[in-house]
Chain A
């Protein structure tokens, strides 16, 4: 369970990333976070695994108070939370399996870490994760020879092999064509249902968000302006999230936020 209690995040340059966020996500939920670029979607995601520190409020993940974590505890904590990026962030010069196994590196003994030799159990776990996303046959191919969709599935397998409770996905399909994007979203949905892993996913495409997620969180200028089941999302709500004026079915601060909407180009 992820619980934001009155969380705010202010960047050193004064930019407000998150403002009084209250949010509770149960284990196994599939949540899509939508909003304009710069609205705070990435900040919200990156606070969960402490890639960003929060400025005030309380954030607990599975009962752990994230703000209290230090050094080694952060690394151990992060290894249970998978993360997926828009640009895949793979080592392109290494094989697919090599990329997947990086996820298990923190658990290896020191000499294995030095030499980069993985035990057979790790290799089997890696192959299993690749099988799970349907690219087992590419295990020994170099990543730079794969298509974008295949690369994102390698990234997905990389998080799966760590046996995470939560997967954070930051614009996972923004760099993919519509058909491939659907395939990758299917993978997310299957993993969410079969393995009961919570998925928090930032996404630009509202139609994809509505088609796949159970719950939609709308964010505008660091504030949550909508939070509800996918079935409750209407065109007005989407307009409200993206333009900042309109209907009343908004949870959270009801008063209209400042007139001008700042959009990071």
Chain B
């Protein structure tokens, strides 16, 4: 870009640094227009047809209360899947996080390998993992648990190794100098520092997983998604409304508990 200069009355010359904002706005605008073309986005359709969205939403109310009996079992399945997946995932994430942390593992190759592994695991969409798992383990909660497990390992693993890498290693060295082994130094120097964040991350991931687990049934991986898919297919929106109400209340309650716990950890 062309540089402009400003001359002050006393003769000093300042090279003006132009703001990049107009350029960024222009690029964004171009990309928005391109993306609108590609996705066939049209405000007109939205204006003329938008009310259809509320037709279905309206049909969900009032929810069919008598459907409640059929919601419990899938709901429990969803909670089980997300709890088990999160718990096991959070546990397995620890060694992987330690192996990925450059300040603990001296070999760049080794830590880089585990970092890449965690990255790729995180990148694979959970729904794809769940679908693959149903082919291997059959339809049901096992597949969902596995998908959630893999996502939790990658998520908690990444945040934990970032936490470990940001630690002050002085304590670790001090303990090593006292004659502790590396493992002992880790236990007494590192663990107390990362434990609160680690537990908090795990709880947070459990909250998110609960939401995710509700979808996984859609590919046959157990839980609320199965009946959600079924009732949506039959266009029985009153029942869908019931399922969503139960889901919202459950997620709300668990979030409340988990948030209180996380605040205490901090």
Contacts and interface: CB of A to CB of B under 8 A. Distances in A.
Interface residues of B, number: 9
A139 B15 CA distance: 10
Main SS at interface, chain B:
loop
Contacts of A124: 6-9
A139 B14 contact: yes
Interface string A202-216: 000000000000000
B44 interface: no
Contacts of B8: 124, 127-128, 131
Interface in B4-46: 6-10, 12, 14, 16-17
Contacts of A127: 6, 8, 12, 14
B16 A123 contact: yes
Interface string A102-143: 000000000000000000100110011001000010011000
A131 B9 CA distance: 11
Contacts of A120: 6
Contacts of B10: 128, 131
A215 to B, nearest CB: 32
Interface string B76-90: 000000000000000
Contacts of A136: 12, 14
Given A120-B6, A124-B6, A131 B12 contact: yes
Contacts of B17: 95, 140
A140 B20 CA distance: 13
Interface in B166-193: none
A136 B7 CA distance: 12
B29 to A, nearest CB: 15
B168 to A, nearest CB: 24
A123 B6 contact: yes
Contacts of A140: 17
A30 B251 CA distance: 64
Nearest to B18: A140
A190 to B, nearest CB: 15
A131 B6 CA distance: 13
Interface in B239-260: none
Interface in A132-172: 136, 139-140
Interface string A11-42: 00000000000000000000000000000000
A136 B14 CA distance: 9
Contacts of A131: 8, 10, 12
Contacts of B12: 127, 131, 136
Contacts of B9: 124, 128
A142 to B, nearest CB: 11
A194 to B, nearest CB: 13
Interface in B40-79: none
B219 to A, nearest CB: 44
A123 B7 CA distance: 10
A120 B12 CA distance: 15
Q: Which 10 A-B pairs have the closest CB atoms?
A: A140-B17, A128-B8, A127-B14, A124-B6, A127-B8, A123-B6, A124-B8, A127-B6, A131-B8, A131-B12
Interface of A: 95, 120, 123-124, 127-128, 131, 136, 139-140
22 contacts: A95-B17, A120-B6, A123-B6, A123-B16, A124-B6, A124-B7, A124-B8, A124-B9, A127-B6, A127-B8, A127-B12, A127-B14, A128-B8, A128-B9, A128-B10, A131-B8, A131-B10, A131-B12, A136-B12, A136-B14, A139-B14, A140-B17
Given A123-B16, A128-B10, A139-B14, 13 more contacts: A95-B17, A120-B6, A123-B6, A124-B8, A124-B9, A127-B6, A127-B8, A127-B12, A128-B9, A131-B8, A131-B10, A131-B12, A136-B14
